[in-house]
Amino acid sequence: MSLNKYNYIQIEKRSQLCFYIDDYKNWKLNKSIIFNWTVGQRLNKKNYFVNEKYAALRSIFSIQKKKKISNQINTIFIFFGSNDNRNITIKILNYLLKKFGISKEVILILSEHKYKIFKRKFTNFKNIKIYKNLNEYKIKSLLGKSDLAISSGGQILYELANIGVPTVCYEVEKNTLQDIKGFENKKFLINLGKFKEKNYELKLSNSINYLKNLKIREKMSKIGQKTIDGKGALRISSIINNFIIKNE
> Domain coordinates of the chain in residue numbers?
5-57+231-246, 61-227
Q: Closest Cα partner for 121 from 78, 91, 164?
A: 91
Helix (H) / strand (E) containing 33? strand 33-36
Other beta carbons within 10 angstroms of residue 31's beta carbon come to: 13
Domain over 61-227 is classified CATH 3.40.50.2000: yes
What tens-digit pLDDT sequence spans the chain (248 residues)?
456 777 777 777 777 778 888 765 566 666 678 888 999 888 777 888 889 999 999 999 999 999 999 999 999 999 999 889 889 999 999 999 888 876 789 999 999 999 999 999 998 898 999 999 889 999 999 999 999 999 998 899 999 999 999 999 999 988 889 999 999 999 999 999 988 767 889 999 999 999 999 999 999 999 999 999 999 999 999 999 998 888 77
d(CA 16, CA 33): 11
Chain centroid to Cα 237, Å, comes to 22
The reply to whether the predicted model has a pTM over 0.85 is: yes
Helices (H) and strands (E) in the chain, counts: 9, 9
Rounded-to-integer distance, Cα 91 and Cα 118, Å = 12
Cα 215 → chain centroid: 22
